Amino acid sequence: MSENIPIVENILNANDLIAARNEEQFRAAGLLALNIMASPGGGKTSVILQTIEGLKDAFRLGVMDGDIVPIDLEKIAEMGIPVTLINTGGNCHLDANMVHGALPSMQLDGLDLLIIENVGNLICPAAFKLGVDYNVVIASVPEGDDKPYKYPAMFKGADVLLLNKMDLQEYMDFDVDYFRHGVEVLNPGVAFFPVSCRTGEGIPAWLDWLRERISQKPK
């Protein structure tokens, strides 16, 4: 069994080296890069669309999506945003090499914010660095308040956490305090935004957080 451990370590080490190269490219372009992660149906695309709507008049945005079909990207492209599909071939996550191979298709020097939408999964994406500035995890009320307890690696590695679909809380048995306790044990002080893409609740605070960090990037 121990013979397998170096193999896993080698895979992750190789990924981290490529992630560092991605980070260098993002830094050289002076852009803010986000890795958006959530389970299927958590609301990644809805949050991205709300983010684009709120920022597109002030900043230059681009989106990369890890998927096998461009359905989500078509909605984003209709808003006049440059997009790239990273065809995962059905893999359960993006890795740094996939992102690196797709970067030439994006004009990084012409962007202020690059959003990378990862594969819908709360397990695999947590293990693979992409070289971004912030890992953004989206949970949602219908998924239940136990997600931080079931998927600790994902929540421990989050730089930012959005709790989506807050408009459904009154219809669900969702204990926000229990949810936040599970998060805080793993990741004390993580930036936390309760939001609803349907009502707009919490979205302005999320956008203000992004504006501040985009503006801090040297150009």
Residue 6 confidence (pLDDT): 57
The model carries a pTM of 0.93
Distant-in-sequence, close-in-space partners of 59: CB < 8 Å, separation ≥ 6:
112, 113, 211, 214
pLDDT digits (tens, 9 = 90+) for 102-135: 999 999 999 999 999 999 999 999 999 999 999 9
Top-confidence residue, 20 or 3: 20
Let me know the angle formed at the C-alpha of 202 by 197 and 203, rounded to the nearest 5 degrees. Answer: 60
Separation CA 155–CA 122 (nearest Å): 9
> Rg of the chain's alpha carbons, rounded to an integer?
17
| Average pLDDT over the chain, rounded to an integer | 94
Is 31 in contact with 115 (CB distance < 8 Å)? no
> Looking at residues 191-208, what average pLDDT do you find?
98
Domain residue spans in the chain? 4-215
Tens digits of residue pLDDT in 3-15: 555 555 676 789 9
Q: How many Å separate Cα 210 from the centre of its chain?
A: 13
Residues 71, 83: Cα–Cα separation, whole Å: 12
CATH topology for 4-215 is Rossmann fold (3.40.50)
Walk across the sheet containing 32-38 and list its strands: 83-87, 61-67, 113-117, 32-38, 134-140, 160-164, 191-194
pLDDT tens-digit profile of 73-93?
999 999 999 999 999 888 899
